């Protein structure tokens, strides 16, 4: 697995990372703990050095990542995220990036991840009640104290990114980005390039849709947010968006790749400082995803893909209104 630098931060990671969220959060029943640990270790053994988790995914998510990577301490880069009140009532996600809360929750992450310092610490969502300068300043103090190595922002707007970066250098921005969600190209990616900041796309496979395995008859299990939260996964939108999957399948077949590999290879080809973090709960899907690193797309391939994608209308919003209100701030 080739390595990439996340902007000018000095943070070097594998060209594909691993997103651990789905092991215990968001997509139905949690994976068996030891099976999840084995999968994370399998990713490392296959060359992945960049692993992503978050406090809001539940203590078990950080704990299993910490357990899995404990034997490889110093060889793997672990990213986690703060920014919520972890004492809020069950089922509620309450933003809280007050400096005292950041400090409190950081201690828990260090313990659960079994590390002395968090390699990359993102603010999970911008808190409108706390100036971003206070957030960046608190993380700067944690870096000085040796508890954090690099600062990141997730789903932040460009104005917030610039203000934060002026206080403490931002190593990476994490936001959704894929062939069927390209909004970051408008202003976020140009700002990252200007400031020397890496970009980490989450949901690089469109929450599984770009793999071609989801149809209008797919029944999502209990606890799977695709069946209850995301408008793009209503049966009518899945049916309407099938044309997009068909196009990806056609291009992938010409390249001798799977649709998932094509979608990931497209992201890798966009910029040398972009590092997607696909997640999976299955070893064969992990190996398929990592195969994307070997798929080479020429400038002509990329122009063909972009031209075809522009002709297809995507149906359905990415988020419902209450979640969309938390992004791009």
Residues designated as active site: 57
Report, in this order, helix, strand and coil percent for the chain, each rounded to 5. 45, 15, 40
Taking alpha carbons only, the member of 33, 96, 100 closest to residue 60 is: 33
How many residues are given for the chain?
A: 329
Taking alpha carbons only, the member of 39, 65, 70 closest to residue 54 is: 65
Distance CA 213, CA 218 (A): 9
CB-based contact 204:175 (threshold 8 Å): no
At residue 326, the 3 state secondary structure works out as: coil
**Contacting residues for 72 by C-beta, under 8 A, at least 6 apart:** 44
Distance CA 263, CA 245 (A): 10
Taking alpha carbons only, the member of 237, 288, 191, 268 closest to residue 226 is: 237
C-beta contacts of 247-251 below 8 A and 24+ residues apart: 247/308, 247/309, 247/312, 248/179, 248/210, 248/212, 249/212, 251/301, 251/304, 251/305, 251/308
């Amino acid at each position: 697995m080739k390595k990439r630098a996340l902007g000018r931060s000095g943070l070097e990671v594998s060209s594909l990372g691993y997103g651990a969220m789905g092991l215990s959060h968001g997509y139905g029943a949690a994976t068996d703990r030891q099976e999840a640990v084995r999968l994370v270790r399998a990713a490392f053994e296959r060359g992945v050095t960049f692993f992503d988790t978050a406090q809001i995914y539940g203590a078990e998510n950080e704990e299993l990542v910490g357990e899995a990577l404990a034997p490889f301490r110093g060889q793997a880069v672990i990213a986690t995220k703060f920014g919520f009140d972890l004492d809020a009532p069950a089922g509620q996600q309450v933003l809280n990036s007050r400096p005292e809360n950041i400090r409190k929750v950081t201690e828990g992450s260090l313990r659960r991840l079994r590390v002395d310092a968090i390699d990359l610490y993102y603010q999970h969502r911008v808190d409108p009640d706390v100036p971003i300068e206070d957030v960046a300043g608190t993380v700067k103090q944690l870096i000085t104290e040796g508890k954090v190595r690099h600062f990141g922002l997730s789903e932040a707007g460009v104005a917030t990114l610039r203000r934060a970066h002026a206080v403490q250098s931002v190593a990476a921005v994490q936001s959704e980005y894929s062939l069927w969600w390209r909004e970051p190209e408008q202003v976020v990616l140009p700002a990252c390039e200007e400031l020397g900041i890496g970009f980490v796309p989450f949901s690089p496979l469109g929450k599984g849709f770009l793999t071609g395995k989801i149809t209008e008859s797919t029944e999502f299990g209990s606890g799977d947010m695709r069946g209850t939260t995301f408008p793009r996964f209503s049966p009518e939108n899945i049916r309407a968006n099938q044309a997009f999957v068909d196009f990806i399948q056609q291009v992938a077949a010409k390249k001798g790749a799977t649709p998932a590999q094509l979608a990931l290879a497209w992201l890798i080809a966009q910029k040398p400082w972009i590092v997607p973090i696909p997640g999976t709960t299955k070893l064969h899907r992990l190996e398929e995803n990592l195969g994307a690193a070997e798929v080479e797309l020429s400038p002509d391939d990329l122009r063909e893909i972009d031209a075809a994608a522009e002709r297809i209308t995507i149906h359905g919003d990415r988020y419902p209104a209450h979640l969309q209100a938390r992004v791009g701030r």
